[in-house]
Amino acid sequence: MPSDDEAQVLSQWSQDLGRALQIDLDVDQELLLDLARKSADSVIHAAAPVTAFLVGYAAGREAGKGSGESDVSPAVATNRAADIAFKLCSDRAEGKGWEPINQS
Protein backbone atom coordinates (compact mmCIF):
# COMPACT_ATOMS: atom_id res chain seq x y z
CA MET A 1 0.00 0.00 0.00
CA PRO A 2 1.20 3.48 -0.72
CA SER A 3 2.05 5.84 2.10
CA ASP A 4 -0.41 8.63 2.90
CA ASP A 5 1.66 11.06 0.83
CA GLU A 6 1.78 8.67 -2.11
CA ALA A 7 -1.96 8.02 -1.84
CA GLN A 8 -2.61 11.76 -1.96
CA VAL A 9 -0.38 12.16 -5.04
CA LEU A 10 -2.08 9.18 -6.71
CA SER A 11 -5.51 10.58 -5.94
CA GLN A 12 -4.59 13.96 -7.41
CA TRP A 13 -3.06 12.27 -10.46
CA SER A 14 -6.23 10.21 -10.99
CA GLN A 15 -8.37 13.34 -10.80
CA ASP A 16 -6.10 15.31 -13.13
CA LEU A 17 -5.86 12.49 -15.66
CA GLY A 18 -9.60 11.86 -15.47
CA ARG A 19 -10.32 15.50 -16.25
CA ALA A 20 -7.80 15.52 -19.10
CA LEU A 21 -9.40 12.37 -20.56
CA GLN A 22 -12.89 13.76 -19.88
CA ILE A 23 -13.74 10.87 -17.58
CA ASP A 24 -15.86 11.71 -14.55
CA LEU A 25 -15.32 8.64 -12.42
CA ASP A 26 -14.29 7.77 -8.89
CA VAL A 27 -11.45 5.27 -9.12
CA ASP A 28 -11.16 2.49 -6.54
CA GLN A 29 -7.41 2.87 -6.22
CA GLU A 30 -7.03 0.20 -3.53
CA LEU A 31 -8.77 -2.38 -5.71
CA LEU A 32 -6.64 -1.56 -8.74
CA LEU A 33 -3.41 -1.51 -6.73
CA ASP A 34 -4.27 -4.88 -5.16
CA LEU A 35 -5.10 -6.29 -8.58
CA ALA A 36 -1.88 -4.96 -10.08
CA ARG A 37 0.15 -6.41 -7.20
CA LYS A 38 -1.58 -9.79 -7.44
CA SER A 39 -1.12 -10.04 -11.21
CA ALA A 40 2.54 -9.01 -10.94
CA ASP A 41 3.10 -11.71 -8.31
CA SER A 42 1.11 -14.38 -10.16
CA VAL A 43 2.38 -13.79 -13.68
CA ILE A 44 5.22 -11.30 -14.22
CA HIS A 45 5.74 -7.70 -13.19
CA ALA A 46 4.66 -6.41 -16.61
CA ALA A 47 1.26 -8.08 -16.14
CA ALA A 48 0.25 -5.37 -13.64
CA PRO A 49 -0.46 -2.49 -16.05
CA VAL A 50 -1.84 -4.82 -18.71
CA THR A 51 -4.24 -6.38 -16.21
CA ALA A 52 -5.38 -2.98 -14.93
CA PHE A 53 -5.97 -1.79 -18.49
CA LEU A 54 -7.94 -4.90 -19.49
CA VAL A 55 -10.07 -4.79 -16.35
CA GLY A 56 -10.79 -1.11 -16.96
CA TYR A 57 -11.64 -1.76 -20.58
CA ALA A 58 -13.98 -4.64 -19.71
CA ALA A 59 -15.63 -2.59 -16.98
CA GLY A 60 -16.08 0.36 -19.32
CA ARG A 61 -17.61 -1.87 -21.95
CA GLU A 62 -20.07 -3.38 -19.47
CA ALA A 63 -20.99 -0.07 -17.86
CA GLY A 64 -21.26 1.51 -21.32
CA LYS A 65 -24.23 -0.71 -21.99
CA GLY A 66 -26.06 1.53 -19.52
CA SER A 67 -27.65 3.26 -22.47
CA GLY A 68 -30.73 1.11 -22.07
CA GLU A 69 -29.35 -2.43 -22.27
CA SER A 70 -27.97 -2.48 -18.73
CA ASP A 71 -27.99 -0.37 -15.61
CA VAL A 72 -24.60 -1.54 -14.32
CA SER A 73 -22.63 1.20 -12.58
CA PRO A 74 -18.94 1.65 -13.36
CA ALA A 75 -18.07 0.53 -9.81
CA VAL A 76 -20.06 -2.70 -10.14
CA ALA A 77 -18.63 -3.36 -13.60
CA THR A 78 -15.09 -2.78 -12.29
CA ASN A 79 -15.65 -5.15 -9.37
CA ARG A 80 -17.00 -7.85 -11.70
CA ALA A 81 -14.04 -7.57 -14.06
CA ALA A 82 -11.58 -7.44 -11.15
CA ASP A 83 -13.12 -10.55 -9.59
CA ILE A 84 -12.49 -12.44 -12.82
CA ALA A 85 -8.88 -11.23 -12.93
CA PHE A 86 -8.30 -12.06 -9.24
CA LYS A 87 -9.65 -15.58 -9.82
CA LEU A 88 -7.42 -16.06 -12.83
CA CYS A 89 -4.40 -14.85 -10.83
CA SER A 90 -5.22 -17.26 -8.00
CA ASP A 91 -5.70 -20.14 -10.40
CA ARG A 92 -2.38 -19.37 -12.05
CA ALA A 93 -0.62 -19.19 -8.68
CA GLU A 94 -2.07 -22.61 -7.83
CA GLY A 95 -0.88 -24.04 -11.14
CA LYS A 96 -4.37 -24.44 -12.54
CA GLY A 97 -4.97 -23.95 -16.23
CA TRP A 98 -7.11 -21.21 -17.67
CA GLU A 99 -10.77 -21.92 -18.26
CA PRO A 100 -13.14 -19.50 -19.95
CA ILE A 101 -15.25 -17.56 -17.46
CA ASN A 102 -18.83 -16.79 -18.39
CA GLN A 103 -19.21 -13.03 -18.04
CA SER A 104 -22.94 -12.83 -18.62
What parts of the chain have a pLDDT lower than 50?
Answer: none
CA atoms of 82 and 39, how far apart (whole Å): 11
Q: Residue 29 and residue 4: Cα distance in Å, rounded?
A: 13
Instruction: Output the pLDDT for position 96.
Output: 78
Instruction: Name which of 84, 72, 70, 73 is nearest 31 in CA terms.
Output: 84
Instruction: Give the model's pLDDT for residue 102.
Output: 57
pTM of the model: 0.79
Q: How far apart are CA 22 and CA 16, in angstroms?
A: 10
pLDDT computed for residue 67 by the predictor:
55
- CA pair distance 3, 5, nearest whole angstrom: 5
